[in-house]
Structure 1
């Protein structure tokens, strides 16, 4: 049986005034969950950094959510969650005005809503804490920059470099990085501009290699920099070719991630 579903491609963590394009995610609103193989095949066909799948629960403002890259499922995808928030705010305007949304994946519940027509937010709980340790052997050489500090986390490990110039000039050796048994790195440094920090997301073991603008990197770096700087409100940039721009509000057990966004495509997805 053939079916059609609401579909969009949405760019989040953007700032068009500064030509910061952010990270695109396809978003598809299903009427029920599909098989893992079917979800993966759709994501592979669309070839977006993430394809976000949504379907409703029995609660009016709750949606199940899953994310797939072209080559694998993503456990936590901040930019996909943000794209889902933008999408749902357009599809369900009245709910956005009254209650906001809850995005559910397993035990993870993401609260989501909009501040305005161009600015949306998600609230992530269970902040990921970092633990200082020695960097893996060969990492400094593979990144080509001096490592000031190294921290492990439950997601991408934090690599602190000396300054923004070091981060911008970093040319990772991905062949060497694939020999190290770490999924990915949130590489960061103090900002040389008016924001608080800059970052890059390196994921050598998957197809993407380096992400455009990454919510899961913010999930580890917001707590790290809030603690280091003694601030609760933070702004940052991701130094990818497309660029990413983030605002965040840090609390003791959660943080609010705020994003500007824009649409690339909006219509229907044909599934057979």
Structure 2
């Protein structure tokens, strides 16, 4: 069987920056083991697969090299980019995923692609509830720790702390199934972050759209502003625009195509 595959750099307008995702459009679902094998072979943060249903929604699933992921932003952004550019889909398009429901995606006149996520604002943890593995797993002690469905979020006072923190990945792996985000006020952006996910995908994720469904509400409340710019300060780096409106968080970004090809399975 031959399948078309796209390799897209998401949350960037510069090749070789942002977060690379593979996108594999399907007519019908492959066996789960095959999708996982393709994602492992691709060895990118995520590989997205989607199938159009009879109601016009694209059911989407995401796989890291290690496991299926419940919620992925950058590979959804990349999938929308493929639909708009290669399948001439009309904006908006709607994706559906079991863990998050509908994700409506709109392409703006400025070329930015905006995704509508559920608001996953994190809750603060009392000091006694912070897991020892989190305290031992970060080289700089955070000012506070939050938690949502996806990750522990360590909050720092300065962007330099986010840049300089060194994770002990073996310690953080013990926090599975949750990952770890670190965040602080930004210098040229409203806030900055990094994301570590040794239990689910790898060491450090270049740009994590999904965690901004939690980071953006936190910073919107703290800064008292609903519109935010965000830097994910990984080695590749990525830029996001976030807008918080009630129970939805809108996350926008750009994409750059690196590759279009064919795989055989």
Q: Which residue of 2 aligns with 1:233?
A: 227
Q: Give the superposition deviation at 1:216.
A: 1.5
RMSD: 1.8
8 Å Cα contact 2:9-2:16 kept in structure 1: no
8 Å Cα contact 2:176-2:199 kept in structure 1: no
1:178 has 2:173 as partner: yes
8 Å Cα contact 2:93-2:104 kept in structure 1: yes
SS at match of 2:200: coil
SS at match of 2:234: coil
**Where does 1:249-264 land on structure 2 (aligned, <5 Å)?**
249-264=243-258
Which runs of 5 or more residues in structure 2 are unaligned? none
Distance 1:29 1:204 in 2: 27
Distance 1:157 1:63 in 2: 30
8 Å Cα contact 1:150-1:157 kept in structure 2: yes
Distance 1:257 1:233 in 2: 10
8 Å Cα contact 1:132-1:152 kept in structure 2: yes
Q: Give the superposition deviation at 1:45.
A: 1.3
Aligned residue among 3, 9, 19 for 2:7: 9
Q: Give the superposition deviation at 1:92.
A: 2.8
SS at match of 1:144: coil
Q: Give the superposition deviation at 1:31.
A: 1.0
Q: Which residue of 2 aligns with 1:119?
A: 112
Distance 1:185 1:165 in 2: 18
Q: Which residue of 2 aligns with 1:210?
A: 204
Q: Give the superposition deviation at 1:5.
A: 2.9
**Where does 1:80-119 land on structure 2 (aligned, <5 Å)?**
80-93=75-88, 95-96=89-90, 99-106=91-98, 108-116=101-109, 118-119=111-112
Distance 2:174 2:87 in 1: 46
8 Å Cα contact 2:80-2:105 kept in structure 1: yes
Aligned residue among 22, 27, 30 for 2:23: 27
Which runs of 5 or more residues in structure 1 are unaligned? none
Moved more, 131-140 or 184-193: 131-140
8 Å Cα contact 2:172-2:180 kept in structure 1: no
Q: Give the superposition deviation at 1:140.
A: 3.0
**Where does 1:40-79 land on structure 2 (aligned, <5 Å)?**
40-60=36-56, 62-79=57-74
Distance 1:248 1:262 in 2: 20
* TM-score normalised by the chain length of structure 2: 0.92
SS at match of 1:216: coil
* TM-score normalised by the chain length of structure 1: 0.90
